[in-house]
Structure 1
Amino acid sequence: MTESLADPHLRPSAGPPDVPEGPRDIVILGSTGSIGTQAVDVVLSNPGRFRVTGLSAAGGRVELLAGQAHRLQVRTVAVAREDKVGQLRQALRAEYGPGEPIPEVLAGPDAATELAGSECHTVLNGITGSIGLAPTLAALEAGRMLALANKESLIVGGPLVRALAAPGQIVPVDSEHSALFQALMSGTHSEVRKLLITASGGPFRGRSKAALADVTPKEALAHPTWDMGPVITVNSATLVNKGLEVIEAHLLYGVPFDRIEVVVHPQSAVHSMVEFSDGSTLAQCGPPDMRLPIALGIGWPERVPDAGPVFDWSRAMSWDFFPLDADAFPSVPLAFQVGSAGGTAPAVYNAANEECVEAFLSGRLPFPGIVDTVAAVVEEHGTPRAAALTLDDVLDAENWARERARELATAAAEARA
């Protein structure tokens, strides 16, 4: 078993910055998204524990970003869309009032990356998509603790992240990987027999492959237990999200793919489990609320009191577990395939999927066509294994995969017309 990047047995002082006295300075990337807004809630609910020094967002919700900046009194605000700078400054001035200085504003596609390397203790990367890779690398290179919700960073740039990350420098924020992180505290890596990653099954659990042919975007966006952004919600409906989590678990914990399993659990109460060599299985459970893994990510190695809701154990409840239907949801076995292939194959899988999700949401691709098209792009790409993967390798593979996925989606749309 290879060395773990997210090792719960290593305190941050073993690698990245020591635990500070007083408020911990943190940067929140993707602050107006689902992870970011909940992270802001955690910070505001814990005055004196955290101090946010910087926020970044794409630029689609500048009023919300300005309001966050004012409430948190941040030093710097970053926005990816340069055309939104004027609107953002105007919103900031409206929030701060006359005579009150507004934060420094960074703008452009590299703004979040610059902010990720700024002076702080912990960077929470809540950006969605592979654009989060560069900020992840910048935070690691600067020696920051990284609370990682951007799974694509590891998926597309696993070897690059591994080369930079010190042991224990990454604390996962995905609910599943936070659950594994916590369960792994009960044993050594040599005692781990299997990682069991739970999946709600999404809105189409129990449907056959044929029954998924006419699924609409509205249906796919109606997740039964989690409230997430559109891309992640569709990924949960196709179970691509679970496939990405399998690859991420392998990279985070150094567990071989043949010892990682996906289990369908509709209630989303058990977030994942670890089976140990003696036969015991430890599960981490809690209501489906991201504030707990977010709080653990930015507060590690300390737990934040009352970070999330708890179960009412005085009320009857039951939890179900089912095997994965790989025929109806082929995205998971495909993820095992590309994860095992390594090199640029995971980047191709992820990039093609992002394009196919967009094509589905715009009506150009049927629901089953998302994974079918991704599989076609992956097969065409092959499985080249780069001896020393570079960022350019990843970007070139992504660009090719996106273009090829768009071509195939367009051809499919024309054939259906």
Structure 2
Amino acid sequence: MTDSPARPAPLADPHLVYDPAPGDGPKDVVILGSTGSIGTQAIDLVLRNPDRFRVTALSANGGRVALLAEQAHRLRVRTVAVAREDVVPALREALAAEYGGAHPLPEILAGPDAATQVAASACHTVLNGITGSIGLAPTLAALEAGRTLALANKESLIVGGPLVTALAKPGQIIPVDSEHAALFQALAAGTRADVRKLVVTASGGPFRGRTRDELAHVTVADALAHPTWAMGPVITVNSATLVNKGLEVIEAHLLYDIPFDRIEVVVHPQSYVHSMVEFTDGSTIAQATPPDMRGPIAIGLGWPERVPDAAPAFDWSKASTWEFFPLDDEAFPSVNLARHVGRLAGTAPAVFNAANEECVAAFLSGALPFNGIMDTVTRVVEEHGTPVTGTSLTVSDVLEAETWARARARELTATTATAEARA
């Protein structure tokens, strides 16, 4: 198999600045997934920099209504969107309590398309901090509306692939993942022709150094005990299986138009170096900060300007040790499987991602052992066969592939659970 043909220019390029609404005042920002980890840290950054950013709309699933109402009040947003229509009465009540009659309440949008609606609303930048492939429609809406997209929702790029690349203008996407924000910054040191290799770093998660056999009986609590980052359960399990790195390899290929065989993953337990770019002259440029997502968020919202004191810096007067190890592909087959589906392209990455989401949910509920996550995902990818590819790919194709993958993963998971119960 060969890599997909190169596009005329990389999707994300630090040398290009896309500015849909130039001006001297604060940037108007929409935050999708405002009550999640990325959203709450982005709001912290905004509140500390009112001269740079102004939030006009928030969206959330609706599981943390009180927090959403508090955010809306503190930021004085125009619009609040929730995916769950059933929480609207509770949201109105929470907003009324926060505002206390002193100011008009913000507009409320509700339903599965609410985030997509605010993604297309008038603003400069949309920060997509939604978790999972449900972020695809808002990503496409923001791009089509001409907004700068600060992209923390890697799944939308991975499953949307050519749909996203067809809409995005040069410089319109700024990556917010710590690894891709690092690559984005390091790539500024040279031209695309100068790049030999992208090096994506991985903490190794809670199971670094363990063999496949040693992973057979790890528990949910073990998998959620990440040594470096505090994240939601799905992302934390993805870090334990290293599926997150597989997704990041596909994302790097799509963002920077670098072939898969020139994107390497190395294990770096300290998580100080967030990724590196090796250039043709032998130089390697690394981007390093203490682990803190406010730095990448600040790059996504502020680029090409940097936000002073966005995140902590190193104290270089103190000794520290930075280690790097090769990836164990036998214990963690997810990265090579991701390269495979990335090369297949089309609907294959959507199948990989959807099957993984179902298998992670099964693991978290106790219905699937840890090694069963990747075993099941691998089988679903194999059974998918030839993906829909090329310019014929549509959103319906992606959704249909995801639906099939989720159903098949659930069937295989149920079979595994039954077999284990009989054993």
For Structure 1 versus Structure 2, the TM-score category normalised by the shorter chain is over 0.9
Q: Give the match for residue 12 of structure 1.
A: 18
**Mapped pair 1:219 → 2:222:** yes
Do the aligned residues in 1 keep the contact of 2:388 with 2:397 (CA within 8 Å)?
Answer: no
**Structure 1 gap segments, 5+ residues each:** none
- Residues 160-204 of structure 1 show CA distances to partners (whole Å, capped at 9, x for unaligned) of 001100000000000000000000001110111000000000000
Superposed displacement of residue 68, structure 1 = 0.3
Map 1:102-141 → 2, pairs under 5 A: 102-141=105-144
Q: Structure 1: which amino acid aligns with 2:304?
A: P
Aligned-residue CA RMSD in angstroms? Answer: 0.8
**1:96 aligned to 82, 94, 99, which one?**
99
Superposed displacement of residue 301, structure 1 = 1.1
Q: Structure 1: which amino acid aligns with 2:349?
A: P
Further displaced range: 78-87 or 96-105:
96-105
Superposed displacement of residue 384, structure 1 = 2.4
Q: Give the match for residue 3 of structure 2.
A: none
Secondary structure of the structure 2 residue equivalent to 1:12: coil
Q: Give the match for residue 395 of structure 2.
A: 391
Secondary structure of the structure 1 residue equivalent to 2:51: coil
Superposed displacement of residue 98, structure 1 = 2.7
**Distance in 2 separating the partners of 1:365 and 1:320:** 33
**Distance in 2 separating the partners of 1:43 and 1:227:** 21
**1:196 aligned to 193, 196, 199, which one?**
199
**Distance in 1 separating the partners of 2:16 and 2:53:** 22
Q: Give the match for residue 37 of structure 1.
A: 40
**Distance in 2 separating the partners of 1:19 and 1:409:** 51
- Residues 43-78 of structure 1 show CA distances to partners (whole Å, capped at 9, x for unaligned) of 011122110000000010000000000000000000
**Distance in 2 separating the partners of 1:368 and 1:348:** 19
Percent of aligned pairs with the same amino acid: 75
**Mapped pair 1:80 → 2:86:** no
Secondary structure of the structure 2 residue equivalent to 1:347: helix
**Mapped pair 1:314 → 2:317:** yes
**Distance in 1 separating the partners of 2:387 and 2:398:** 12
- Residues 375-412 of structure 1 show CA distances to partners (whole Å, capped at 9, x for unaligned) of 00000002324232100000000000000001111111
Q: Structure 2: which amino acid aligns with 1:252?
A: L
4+ residue stretches of structure 1 with deviation over 6 A? none
Q: Structure 2: which amino acid aligns with 1:415?
A: A
Map 1:214-293 → 2, pairs under 5 A: 214-293=217-296
**Distance in 2 separating the partners of 1:104 and 1:385:** 40
**Structure 2 gap segments, 5+ residues each:** 1-5
**Distance in 2 separating the partners of 1:174 and 1:333:** 20
Q: Structure 2: which amino acid aligns with 1:238?
A: T
- Residues 123-162 of structure 1 show CA distances to partners (whole Å, capped at 9, x for unaligned) of 0000000000000000000000000000001110010001
Do the aligned residues in 2 keep the contact of 1:343 with 1:383 (CA within 8 Å)?
Answer: no
Do the aligned residues in 2 keep the contact of 1:31 with 1:126 (CA within 8 Å)?
Answer: yes
Q: Structure 1: which amino acid aligns with 2:417?
A: A
Map 1:303-342 → 2, pairs under 5 A: 303-342=306-345
Q: Give the match for residue 409 of structure 2.
A: 405
Superposed displacement of residue 300, structure 1 = 1.0
Q: Structure 2: which amino acid aligns with 1:12?
A: Y
**Distance in 1 separating the partners of 2:22 and 2:291:** 29
Superposed displacement of residue 99, structure 1 = 5.0
**Distance in 1 separating the partners of 2:363 and 2:330:** 20
**1:416 aligned to 396, 417, 420, which one?**
420
Secondary structure of the structure 2 residue equivalent to 1:317: coil
Q: Give the match for residue 144 of structure 1.
A: 147
**Distance in 2 separating the partners of 1:413 and 1:340:** 32
